[in-house]
Amino acid sequence: MVGAYALSAGYYDAYYLQAQKIRRLIKNDFMAAFEEVDVILGPTTPNPAWKLGAKNSDPVAAYLEDVYTITANL
């Protein structure tokens, strides 16, 4: 729903093109880093895993659990 709004008439330049510019900057930073190293290691989540079968009723908390994987998915 947010994606449709951001890509609607009048917002394409403001959101999508700006996001593409930022994505390019992040990509360039990673390319520069990989000129010096072969691998970058780091955590994938900010917290320990939830217990098997546990349900989190807070969707924002669930979303934030993958915050460290965002750049890999760009």
Angstrom distance (rounded) from CA 6 to CA 8: 6
Angstrom distance (rounded) from CA 67 to CA 45: 7
On the question of pLDDT at 7 being above 70, the answer is: no
Please, what is the Cα angle at 23 between 20 and 24, to 5 degrees?
Answer: 90
Tens-digit pLDDT profile for residues 12-66: 777 888 889 999 999 999 999 999 999 999 998 898 888 887 777 888 888 888 8
User: How many residues does the structure list for the chain?
Assistant: 74
Q: What is the pLDDT of residue 22?
A: 93
Specify whether the CB–CB gap between 71 and 30 falls below 8 A: yes
| Nearest-10 Cα torsion for 42, 46, 50, 55 | -130
